[in-house]
Amino acid sequence: GGAFVEPNYFLALLFDYLVAERGFEGGVARSVATSHLLDAVARKHDRPVYETPVGFKFIGDLIRRGEVALGGEESAGLSIRGHVPEKDGILACLLAAEMVARRGKPLLRQLEELYAEVGRYRTRRVNLRLTPRQEEAFGAKVAALPGEVAGRKVREVVTVDGHKLLLEGDAWILVRKSGTEPVVRLYAEAPTDEALDELVAAGRAWILGN
């Protein structure tokens, strides 16, 4: 039995737990590719959010300086205030067990309760392998960003790492070249699975289309 809780959602649960149950001080650090569910939890507790490029070293710097209670990435790396400024999977597992024991609820039930408080966020990452022709066109496409994606107007563009389009309705899409593989990574987030499907399809068409 049981079900997998994706890192994006576990990070938000853990931040809420550390602040509400453990009294941790400080904000939260997340990579530009990580879910804004963390931002919603930060608003709930009136804590700052630090958005970093992809790569745990940037988050580690904030942990080392004691500025955040938690730092994490959607790729499943995290650490906490007062611990080593590097991702620690054993720590993550121990904290997950502690959350379940202390709250007396499975993680999925805790997640549903968190959604009821701050709203639902659905995220996805897709790897796009480009042909030589698509690779050549990629630079021009991100230099001339669209004004809307899947019918949602672009409110703001973030270039911390790649090109992240913040859209109407608590949605966003990010495209960035991988630093470890010959692919373009497409990330998207929306309040519903249907809206997320639309964003991913639009992102694919934008990057892979003529």
Encode pLDDT of 45-103 as tens digits: 999 999 999 999 999 999 999 999 999 999 999 999 999 999 999 999 999 999 999 99
Q: Please provide the average confidence, as pLDDT, over all residues in the chain.
A: 96
Instruction: For residues 131-159, give the mean pLDDT.
Output: 93
Does residue 7 register a pLDDT over 90? Answer: yes
Q: What is the pTM of this model?
A: 0.94
Q: How confident is the model at residue 182 (pLDDT cuts 50, 70, 90)?
A: confident
In the prediction, which pLDDT does 1 show? Answer: 65
Does residue 25 register a pLDDT over 70? Answer: yes
In the prediction, which pLDDT does 210 show? Answer: 66
* SS3 at position 33: coil
145-150, long-range: CB within 8 Å, 24+ apart, which pairs?
146/206, 149/173, 149/199, 149/202, 149/203, 149/206, 150/195, 150/198, 150/199, 150/201, 150/202
Q: How confident is the model at residue 180 (pLDDT cuts 50, 70, 90)?
A: confident
Q: Tell me: the pLDDT tens digits for 92-131? A: 999 999 999 999 999 999 999 999 999 999 999 999 999 8
Asked if residues 123 and 8 have their Cβ atoms less than 8 Å apart, the reply is: yes
Q: What is the CATH number of domain 7-118?
A: 3.40.120.10
Give the residue extent of every domain in the chain: 7-118, 122-208
Q: What is the CATH number of domain 122-208?
A: 3.30.310.50
